[in-house]
Structure formats: structure tokens, C-alpha cells
């Protein structure tokens, strides 16, 4: 058995609070009655209320609410797995992990901002196959999949300091993306293929234009996203705890990095794609999703869906029944029980009765004599 909404179970912790509150309320009523007058006399006046029934009602309420909370957690059983069709496109996301992506002209840094926006974008996809390429001087790849959660684990904790080779090789990243897309082409109906490139655009190690032309020959579009400012930003050097230890320098001068929007726009234009710019204070994935939504999609059976039988009604019905009994159950005693309780409380002990009545009767007899 599994729970579809396990977070609802935290409500069970409120039940002990309810029980303690009810006990305190009963005690408060008892103390209040004691302050009003003689306890036995007050109790006889309240003879219509049964403490046993009160406790029974509290028990019904607690058990009924517990079952209701479990029902809200949606217990399920009987797991079945089916292969469902997924309608979408093929996307390879190429993310720049060079040291220039540590620059702070986007909050909290270029790389952190890019990863956050990509997480939002991937969460908005439905049925699209996604592959990943992390690149600096070399590339690391993750094959296309519809398991978005597993894909995002690939670079969740990765930083530019983890890349084996420094630098920025956009051309190598595009070639890696083309290979990933070419590897699954022909497996199913034709569908649009896209490389989503996120980088600051600075490349002194490869030929991104040549790679873009190769992508265009294969019908692959490049959607480039520029990250960073055009004015230039120093590249920080980080300590192990992530704090800034200083800034990268060359010949005693700080090394700056700036956005190369011209190159990124030309890569997109060569393939019939589009260019987007991540501004320091404003960037949303909605424009990219809108562009992707216009591309040709096809259906492939590549998504496993797990089905479960809902069994919450096995808890909901008893909960409803117990709460209904609680509503119908009165705290007052039955007429016969109430009269017997009152008589038992009003009849005094034999010794007290004889002592209280002997004096007047005895005194009267002595007067007569």
C-alpha cells in the first residue's frame, strides 16, 4: 500500500492535542461546579449528563477523525504499469560550465541562475525527450529521456570547478548535441529536434559556426540564450565553502567576461532558431516554451505510467459512520437511568436518618408522658 498524499498524515499530530484539550475542559467544568456549591448537591442537579457517554463521544470523534485523515492521504494499492504515448519534440540542453559562468552579474551567479531557469523550463515540458550536455573545454553528456527528475540530477550539484578541462568550447557542445539527437533519429515518427544553448557566448577554442551549419544540415534548430552583461564582469575565484577568495587575473590585471550576443544570435539564425537574452533582473522561460510549442510534435510510446487502485473509501466510510454515531449519541442519560441515579444520590445513610429523626420523635413522646 502507498499514500498519494502522505503530507496529510501530519494532521494526526493534532489528535493528541484535541484529547488533552477535552480532558482539560472536563476538569475545568468539574472545578467550576465545585466553586458553585456543595459538590453532591450540584452533581444531583446535573444528573441528566452521563460521563460515560461523554467519554464514548470523545472516543468516536478521535477514531473517526483519524480514519478521515488517513482517507485524505489517499491510500492506494494494486500497482500496474502501462506504456503511455508521449507527444513532443527532442531537446538537448547545452549548459556552459566554464569559469566565466561564476560571474555575479546575474544573481546569485550566472551558472546558478541558469540552472534555476532550466529547472523551471524542464518542469514545464510534457512528453518531450530531453538530453543534457555540460561543457567547458570538453563536454559531458546525458542521453535523451522523458525522466526529467533523473535528468536534472545530472548537473544539480555540478559546478565549473568540477569540469575536467577549463575553457569554453561552444562548438564541441553543439557537436555533442547533434550526436545525441542523431542517435535517436529514426526511432519513431519524425519530430522536431532542438539544441537549447545557454552560455555567455565567449569561445576561443572551437568553431561554433561550423557546428551550427552541421546542425542546420540535419534540420536541428539552435535556440541560444545569452547569459551575462555586455559591459564586462570580473571572474571570481572561490574558496571551498563557495565564498569569493579573489578574482582571476592575467598579467596583474583582472580578467573580465562579457556577453557575446552577436555570436549567439548568428548561431540561432543559421539554423532557423531564435535568440533569447537572460537579463540580470528579469528572465523567464515562458518565451522559450512558447517557441518550442510551435514546433512539430510526434507521438512515441516511451513513457511508463504507474496506476494504483484507490482504497481510501475503506477508511472514509467507517470514519463517516463513527462521526454520524457521535452526532446521534446524546450525552444525557436515559430516563430510567437518570431516576435511579437521582434516587441513589438522594437517599441518605440509615445511621444518619435514624439519628436525625429520633430526636424530634423521641422528644414528642416524652412530652406526651
- SS3 for the chain is CEECCHHHHHHHHHHHHHHHHHHHHHHHHHHHHHHHCCHHHHHHHCCCECHHHHHHHHHHHHHHHHHHHHHHCCEEEEEEEEEEEEEECEEEEEEECCHHHHCCCCCCCHHHHHHHHHHHHHHCCCCCEEEEEEECCCEEEEEEECCHHHHHHCCCCCCHHHCCCCCCCHHHHHHHHHHHHHHHCCCCCCCCEEEEEEECCCCCCCCHHHHHHHHHHCCEEEEEEEECCCCCEECEEECCCCCEEEECEECCEECEECCCHHHHHHHHHHCCCEEEEECCCCCCCHHHHHHHHCCCCEEEEEEEEEEEEECCHHHHHHHHHHHHHHHHCCCECCHHHHHHHHHHHHCCCHHHHHHHHHHHHHHHHHHHC
Number of compact structural domains in the chain: 2
Position 315 pLDDT exceeds 70: yes
Write down the pLDDT at residue 355: 42
Task: Look up residue 43 and give its three cell numbers.
Answer: 452533581
100 plus 218 within the same structural domain:
yes
Q: Which domain holds residue 235?
A: 83-306
pLDDT bucket at 337, cuts 50 / 70 / 90: low
Domain end among 280, 306, 332: 306
Write down the pLDDT at residue 223: 95
Instruction: Specify if 203 maps to a domain.
Output: yes
Position 360 pLDDT exceeds 90: no
Cα–Cα distance measured from residue 111 to residue 123, given in angstroms and rounded to the nearest whole number: 18
Domain end among 256, 288, 306: 306
CATH number of the domain that residue 242 is part of: 3.40.50.410
Task: Look up residue 134 and give its three cell numbers.
Answer: 555540460
198 plus 109 within the same structural domain:
yes
* Max avg pLDDT among 22-36, 164-178, 251-265: 164-178
Write down the pLDDT at residue 22: 86
Write down the pLDDT at residue 331: 73
Those residues with Cβ within 8 angstroms of residue 271's Cβ, 6 or more apart along the chain or in another chain: 212, 215, 216, 220, 221, 222
46 plus 97 within the same structural domain:
no
Picking from 227, 291, 224, 231, the residue whose alpha carbon sits closest to that of residue 264 is 224
Position 50 pLDDT exceeds 70: yes
pLDDT bucket at 34, cuts 50 / 70 / 90: low
276 plus 177 within the same structural domain:
yes
Position 354 pLDDT exceeds 50: no
Q: Half-sphere exposure (CA, 13 Å, Cβ side) for 294?
A: 9
Position 365 pLDDT exceeds 50: no
Domain end among 252, 276, 306: 306
Instruction: Specify if 361 maps to a domain.
Output: no
165 plus 208 within the same structural domain:
yes
Cα–Cα distance measured from residue 165 to residue 338, given in angstroms and rounded to the nearest whole number: 90
pLDDT bucket at 216, cuts 50 / 70 / 90: very high
110 plus 217 within the same structural domain:
yes
Write down the pLDDT at residue 93: 95
185 plus 286 within the same structural domain:
yes
Opening angle at CA 87, ends 82 and 92, nearest 5? 110
Amino acid at each position: 500500500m502507498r499514500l498519494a498524499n502522505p503530507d496529510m498524515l501530519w494532521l494526526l499530530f493534532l489528535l493528541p492535542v484535541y484529547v488533552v484539550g477535552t480532558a482539560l475542559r472536563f476538569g475545568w467544568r468539574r472545578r467550576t461546579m465545585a466553586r458553585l456549591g456543595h459538590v453532591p448537591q450540584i452533581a444531583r442537579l446535573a444528573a441528566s449528563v452521563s460521563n460515560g457517554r461523554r467519554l464514548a463521544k470523545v472516543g468516536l470523534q478521535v477514531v473517526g477523525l483519524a480514519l478521515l485523515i488517513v482517507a485524505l492521504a489517499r491510500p492506494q494499492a494494486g500497482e500496474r504499469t502501462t506504456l503511455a504515448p508521449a507527444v513532443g519534440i527532442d531537446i538537448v540542453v547545452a549548459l556552459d560550465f566554464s569559469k566565466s559562468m561564476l560571474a555575479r552579474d546575474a544573481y546569485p551567479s550566472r551558472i546558478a541562475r541558469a540552472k534555476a531557469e532550466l529547472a523551471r523550463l524542464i518542469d514545464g515540458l510534457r512528453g518531450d525527450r530531453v538530453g543534457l550536455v555540460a561543457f567547458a573545454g570538453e563536454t559531458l553528456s546525458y542521453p535523451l529521456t522523458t525522466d526529467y527528475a533523473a535528468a536534472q540530477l545530472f548537473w544539480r550539484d555540478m559546478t565549473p570547478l568540477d569540469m575536467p578541462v577549463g575553457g569554453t568550447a561552444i562548438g564541441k557542445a553543439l557537436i555533442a548535441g547533434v550526436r545525441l539527437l542523431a542517435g535517436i533519429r529514426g526511432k519513431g515518427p519524425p519530430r522536431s529536434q532542438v539544441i537549447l544553448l545557454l552560455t555567455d557566448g565567449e569561445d576561443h577554442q572551437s568553431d561554433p559556426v561550423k557546428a551550427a551549419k552541421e546542425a542546420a544540415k540535419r534540420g536541428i534548430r539552435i535556440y541560444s540564450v545569452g547569459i551575462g552583461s555586455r559591459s564586462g564582469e570580473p571572474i571570481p575565484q572561490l574558496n571551498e565553502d563557495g565564498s569569493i577568495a579573489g578574482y582571476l587575473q592575467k598579467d596583474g590585471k583582472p580578467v573580465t567576461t562579457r556577453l557575446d550576443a552577436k555570436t549567439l544570435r548568428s548561431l540561432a539564425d543559421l539554423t532557423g532558431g531564435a535568440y533569447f537574452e537572460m537579463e540580470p533582473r528579469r528572465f523567464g522561460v515562458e518565451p522559450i516554451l512558447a517557441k518550442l510549442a510551435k514546433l512539430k510534435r510526434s507521438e512515441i510510446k516511451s513513457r511508463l505510467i504507474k496506476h494504483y487502485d484507490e482504497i481510501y473509501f475503506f477508511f472514509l466510510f467507517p470514519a463517516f459512520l463513527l462521526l454520524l454515531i457521535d452526532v446521534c449519541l446524546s450525552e444525557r442519560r436515559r430516563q430510567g437511568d437518570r431516576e435511579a441515579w437521582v434516587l441513589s444520590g438522594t437517599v441518605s445513610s440509615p445511621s444518619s436518618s435514624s439519628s436525625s429523626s429520633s430526636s424530634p420523635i423521641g422528644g414528642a413522646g416524652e412530652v406526651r408522658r
